[in-house]
Chains A and B, each alone.
Chain A
């Protein structure tokens, strides 16, 4: 069976992720596609490089899927995240959520991307025309003041 929560170096497919959650009980399928942006704070990105702690990242995505089930029991979700070198407008992450009614699907989808940015061990490196930089490193990082990235059930 195909994984619902996965990290891959291959291009992501909007259609495949949608198919993972489409079902007769659903009245809404909401998808988020995170794409590579060319300009950030006025600086031009040439390409991005994503690195993952592959095995742990997939476990963390699955954990987020369980959090979604606790909050929205009727939701089904699927997430794919790319690694490697990505060009401008390439999809870095695709999140698909289906629910019986649309409001829950929108909310659960946003919840998933926020949690990915908190607890999934994936990093991106910006490559500019005149340099490179791991996002989140010492120069512009959000540190973990409490020594941990925080739990999902506050």
Chain B
């Protein structure tokens, strides 16, 4: 399984702070985003991602047990 963490308005879109998705067929961040867009009919364009707490790109590898965070534009400070 792959853990997906949702922050800020991502929680509203996905109805919770944490999702788990099956790792079958998923090799990269892009695959995770495509899966979420399809499974939840969600508009998640313009967000950043992190894999295991490091900012990631669409091509970043994702595998079994990894944690992918959906990071909307930040607004701290």
Residues of A bordering B, CB below 8 Å: 34, 50-53, 55-57, 59, 81, 92-93, 113, 116-125, 134-138, 141-144, 147-149
| Interface core residue of B9, B46, B47, B73 (most chain A CB under 10 Å) | B73
CB within 8 Å for A51 and B73 given contacts A141-B46, A144-B46, A148-B55 = no
CB within 8 Å for A117 and B58 given contacts A55-B53, A136-B8 = no
Does the CB pair A53–B77 fall under 8 Å? no
Which chain A residue lies CB-closest to B76? A122
Among candidates A34, A55, A113, A117, residue contacting B74 with C-beta atoms closer than 8 Å:
A117
> Which residues from A are CB-within-8-Å of B77?
34, 81, 92-93, 113, 116-117, 122
CB within 8 Å for A124 and B48 given contacts A53-B69, A149-B55 = no
- Interface band, chain B: 20 to 34
Residue-wise, chain B 34-77 has the 8 Å CB interface mask toward A (1 for contact) of: 00000000010111101001010110000000000101111111
The SS class assigned to the A binding surface is mixed
Among candidates A53, A117, A141, residue contacting B50 with C-beta atoms closer than 8 Å:
A53
The SS class assigned to the B binding surface is loop
Residues of B bordering A, CB below 8 Å: 5, 7-9, 43, 45-48, 50, 53, 55, 57-58, 69, 71-77
Does the CB pair B71–A121 fall under 8 Å? yes
Does the CB pair B73–A143 fall under 8 Å? yes
Among candidates B45, B53, B58, B76, residue contacting A93 with C-beta atoms closer than 8 Å:
B76
Does the CB pair A51–B8 fall under 8 Å? yes
Does the CB pair A53–B46 fall under 8 Å? no
> Which residues from A are CB-within-8-Å of B73?
136-137, 141-144
Which chain A residue lies CB-closest to B48? A144
> Which residues from B are CB-within-8-Å of A51?
7-8
Does the CB pair A121–B74 fall under 8 Å? yes
Does the CB pair B76–A53 fall under 8 Å? no
